[in-house]
Each structure stands twice: as structure tokens, then as C-alpha cells.
Amino acid sequence: MRKKWDIGLIAVLLLLSLIPEGIFMATGRQMNTGSTYAVVQVNGETYKTIPLSEHRGTDTFVIQTKEGYNRVVVRDQEIGITEADCPDKICISEGFISKPGEMAVCLPHKVMIEVRSNDSAEPDVIPAH
């Protein structure tokens, strides 16, 4: 037999259990406010920096090295390698990337594309020295 106070206590505990979820949702939305950009590197040197969060439309450029070429497409707020003359073509199968920390790499041509963020919060990464 349940008493009136038991039902009230259960209701209050249920409401209190939802507070962490509300805090998580509120702070999660604020974390996505940083702007993102892609850094394209060829042979370890910065080739081009592209702002992604403000980018609209589709742009294409070709990276030509002595090892071969890569066609890079910037589509809205994402970037990817869509064509390459390397033997394995793994860089093409990586698809488009848009989140900070994601990378697309073509090892035979020494091309790397990394998405970074201007947000002051660093990702949870332990640097390897």
C-alpha cells in the first residue's frame, strides 16, 4: 500500500535525476559554437588553410606533387579527397571530413588534411613526443 508521501518523494527524485541531463544538453550546444578550418599540408609544410564553418558551395583544387596529384573538394562545411592517382586510393575512401580532429591522408603523395577548431577547448588527446 503506497502512501501519498511515497508518490511525492518518487516524483521529486525523478525530477532531480533529470538535472544532469539538462546541464549536459545546455553545455553540449555551446561547445559547437567554435569555428572550424582545414589545414592542408604537403610534405609536412602548410599548403593551404580553408575556413570550413563559413564555407558555402563547392570549391575544387588540385594538389600536384612529384609523386602524383590529389583533387580536393570543399563542399559546404566539409572537405575530402575525391580523386588521386596513388596506387591504393585509400585517401578517396576516407570520404569527407568536418569535425575537429578528423584527418584525410594520402601517404604516397605526402598530403594530409586536418580539421581544426578555433575553440579554446582542446580535444582530449595525449600528445606523443
Record the cell numbers describing residue 128, joined without a space. 606523443
Residue 102 CA, distance from chain mean position: 5
pLDDT in tens, 10-41: 888 988 898 888 887 777 654 455 689 999 99
Band of pLDDT at residue 45, cut at 50, 70 and 90: very high
CATH says 36-117 is which class? mainly beta
Domain boundaries, the chain: 1-33, 36-117
Over residues 100-113, the mean pLDDT reads 94
Record the cell numbers describing residue 90, joined without a space. 585509400
Cβ atoms of residues 42 and 52 within 8 Å: no
For residues 126 and 129, give the distance between their C-alpha atoms in angstroms, rounded to a whole number: 9
Secondary structure class of 67 (helix, strand, coil): coil
pLDDT in tens, 54-68: 889 999 999 999 999
Record the cell numbers describing residue 122, joined without a space. 582542446
Over residues 112-122, the mean pLDDT reads 80
pLDDT score recorded for residue 26:
75
